[in-house]
Amino acid sequence: MGLDAFGVLDPGLGATLQDRGRVGWRRFGVPASGAMDDHAAGWANRLLNNPPDAPVLELLLQGAKLLVASRVWIAVTGADAEGSVPAWRTIHVEPKQVIHFPHNHSGVWIYLAVEGGFEAERILGSVSAYERGNLGRRLAAGDILKRAAAIPFELPHNIAGRMISADERRSYHSPPALRVWPGPQWNLFHEQDREMFFAQSWTVTSQSDRAGYRLSGQPLQSGGNEIISEPVRVGSIQIPGNGLPIVTMRDGPTVGGYPKLGLVETADLSWLAQCRPGQSVRFRHVE
């Protein structure tokens, strides 16, 4: 039986529980879901010695407010939203303390881990909320978050704190050029279109969400005709008829009929996830 950890005073623009997602269900049309930024979510768990698949709280942009219910260790990583507790390090919080994230400065997704991980119902092997499929739900004001009754976290003797090294703490203002592998329909696109895709900066649009990130820029002219529907992987760069790319994200469809120019390197997808609407992103070709 879990222990009360937090009360949700305000979910902000969006709050869900996520873990590493549902493995092995894509062939049945169920996306893996899971944390949008697995780099930040993974570090939140590592700071607390949690299992890699321990559920974390994923918050969107800003506005979330939580009431601490018990004395507990936490770690906050991801987007900078003026959090009331320091980020990228372990923090001990006390009952009745309020944790809030009032204003977003960079990034999109914030992660809060608690010692032992959050406790929630597992559906198809995961607690990850996938709203389109009615698997889990968004959190609402009044919800109580419980933590697993696991071995309590303790810092080693004479160690006052634990934080992430500077080279792992990302600045979401300036993502690197994201690596892209050729996709299944690479050869359907003219060479000048392939070159133009990598030569220009693309802008993340406001029509982006957990299913897919839409990009605006100079449209590609070739390859935009629909194909016979086939499996789509997370990170696929699909090019619809308007020539503007859509990158499939964690809750994206498992099949699709748009040609796929490329596939974003798995390790770089978390960078794209943290790009806010209006932010520019570039890609580079790898073979």
Structural element, H or E, at residue 30:
none
For the chain, where are the alpha helices, taking DSSP H only?
38-47, 191-199, 269-273
Q: Which two tokens stand for residue 81?
A: 């939203």
Per-residue confidence (pLDDT) for residue 223, from 0 to 100: 65
- pTM of the entire predicted model: 0.95
Per-residue confidence (pLDDT) for residue 168, from 0 to 100: 92
CA pair distance 263, 285, nearest whole angstrom: 10
Distances (CA, A) of 237 to 5, 109, 130, 258: 39, 21, 21, 9
CA-closest candidate to residue 257, choices 283, 221, 231: 231
Which domains does the chain carry? 3-168 (no CATH), 178-285 (2.40.100.10)
Per-residue confidence (pLDDT) for residue 258, from 0 to 100: 93
Residues of the chain with pLDDT under 70: 1-2, 223-224
What is the 8-class DSSP label of residue 251? Answer: T
CA pair distance 152, 44, nearest whole angstrom: 16
Q: 161-203, pLDDT tens digit by residue?
A: 899 999 899 989 989 999 999 999 999 999 999 999 999 999 9
- Provide the CA 126 distance to its chain's centre, in angstroms: 15
**CB neighbour list of residue 164: distance below 8 Å, 6 or more residues apart:** 43, 47, 77, 88, 89
The answer to whether 93 and 114 have CB atoms below 8 angstroms apart is: no
CA-closest candidate to residue 55, choices 46, 45, 47, 64: 45
